[in-house]
Amino acid sequence: MIPQSAAQVEPLNLIKHSREPDDWRAQLRDAYRSPQQLLSALGFSTIQQASMIAEDQGFTTLVPIAFAQKMRPQDPTDPLLLQVLPQHQEGLAHADFNQDPLQEANYNPQPGIVHKYKGRALLIAAGHCAINCRYCFRRHYPYGEQKRARSQWQQSLNYIAQHHDIEELILSGGDPLALTDSQLFEIIGAIEAIPHIKRLRIHSRLPIVLPHRITTKLCQRLQQSRLACVLVVHANHANELGEDVAQACEKLRNHQVQLLNQSVLLAQVNDNLASLKLLSERLFTIGIMPYYLHLPDQVAGTTHFFVSLEKGQSLMALMQACMSGYLVPKLVREEPGKQSKTQYLPR
Ligand code: SF4
């Protein structure tokens, strides 16, 4: 435990919004962009910070204020802080961890498209997120190369139009909701014009980390779409799901957007029954169905988040023993070359 001394600790009132709540782009610009900024706002002294902050390994810090406000001040074990703070273990090399564990490069028929599974394809709509999660399986993804291809939208859309088996289009990234409305609506409009696409799935962490992104304008555009809209959010801990997130979810549901959650099973963050149970219960309370619990991908720089399959399965068994079935997410892992995610049963 890091020693704390009141004399060394900065005041906590550094955490505050300087913008109107609905100005989500300004809130994104105001996000913490260094560990020092974040830790100072959480009341850690400069002496404490010196022992906590590690090299970012080329993956910079980015944390919206709305997310940081849900962290416990002066607690180095806070489960939200651990998801975003660069730690010394990121520098550890391990033979089983590499930069592209899912081998997405092999399923990239052209820049901007990942087509791994039958019936659905993924469009890399954005090359950035509103938060940088240290465990991210795309932390080494060459977004720069994919982003250049954004000027070649037509090629990506032609690919989708030519593949009639694709019924569901997944907008991913980065985070598609980090795009401006005009960029996002242009993409949605182009997808709607492809007759065989029936469903639009948006993968986004914005509703959780920057809930003011869920504007009435966005909700209305999704409701007006001829496509059935599913928004798969990403929350790993119940503490992420404050009242602001609940309000954003209510707005989405009021506009007929289905809400699912996928979490990642992360050591020190949520790898225990109490955390997982509370997460599922809170998700359900605010109208999000627990969907997937991913075993962490073996991405270089993330060994400290690793949880074994055996531990994942035993946690699932504990959840199943004390929770209603609809509150228990599926334990899954993506494996290169498989036709779908691999699901693991409780043991
Ligand atoms: S929001 Fe998603 S894509 Fe972005 S860094 Fe976090 S886990 Fe990765």
The per-residue pLDDT for 94 is 86
Substitution site in 57, 84, 138, 236 for ligand 1 pocket (most atoms within 8 Å of beta carbon): 138
pLDDT score of 19 more than 60? no
Atom 3 of ligand 1: nearest residue by CA position: 174
At 111, is the pLDDT very low, low, confident or very high (cuts 50, 70, 90)? confident
| Gap from CA of 322 to ligand 1 centroid (Å) | 30
Q: For domain 104-344, give its CATH number from 3.40.50.11890, 3.40.190.10, 3.40.50.10420, 3.20.20.70.
A: 3.20.20.70
**The token pair that represents 307 in the structure block:** 């949880």
Cβ 62 under 6 angstroms from ligand 1? no
**The token pair that represents 306 in the structure block:** 């690793």
Atom 1 of ligand 1: nearest residue by CA position: 205
The per-residue pLDDT for 274 is 98
Cβ 297 under 6 angstroms from ligand 1? no
**pTM of the predicted structure, to 2 decimals:** 0.91
**The token pair that represents 232 in the structure block:** 């798969």
pLDDT in tens, 299-322: 989 999 999 999 999 999 999 999
Closest CA to 40 of 1, 85, 103: 85
Cβ 125 under 6 angstroms from ligand 1? no
Substitution site in 124, 129, 203 for ligand 1 pocket (most atoms within 8 Å of beta carbon): 129
Number of other residues whose CB lies within 10 A of the CB of residue 334:
19
**The token pair that represents 56 in the structure block:** 């970012």
- The residue extents of the domains of the chain are 6-91, 104-344
| Gap from CA of 4 to ligand 1 centroid (Å) | 31
Enter the DSSP assignment of 81: H
| Gap from CA of 62 to ligand 1 centroid (Å) | 11
Phi, psi (deg, nearest 5) at residue 127: -105, 15
Atom 7 of ligand 1: nearest residue by CA position: 136
Closest CA to 163 of 196, 190, 192: 196
d(CA 12, CA 44): 9
| Gap from CA of 179 to ligand 1 centroid (Å) | 14
DSSP string, 187-216: HHHHHHTSTT--EEEEE-SHHHH-GGG--H
d(CA 39, CA 72): 11
pLDDT score of 4 more than 50? no
The per-residue pLDDT for 109 is 79
Atom 8 of ligand 1: nearest residue by CA position: 136
Enter the DSSP assignment of 229: E
Enter the DSSP assignment of 69: T
d(CA 62, CA 293): 24
Radius of gyration of the chain (CA): 20
pLDDT in tens, 116-146: 889 999 998 888 999 999 999 878 766 655 5
Out of 8-17, 101-110, 142-151, 153-162, least confident range = 8-17
| Gap from CA of 139 to ligand 1 centroid (Å) | 8
Contact by Cβ (8 Å): 156, 149? yes
Bond into 242 cis (ω within 30) = no
| Gap from CA of 204 to ligand 1 centroid (Å) | 8
pLDDT in tens, 202-249: 999 999 999 999 999 999 999 999 999 999 999 999 999 999 999 999
**The token pair that represents 31 in the structure block:** 């996000």
Contact by Cβ (8 Å): 305, 270? no
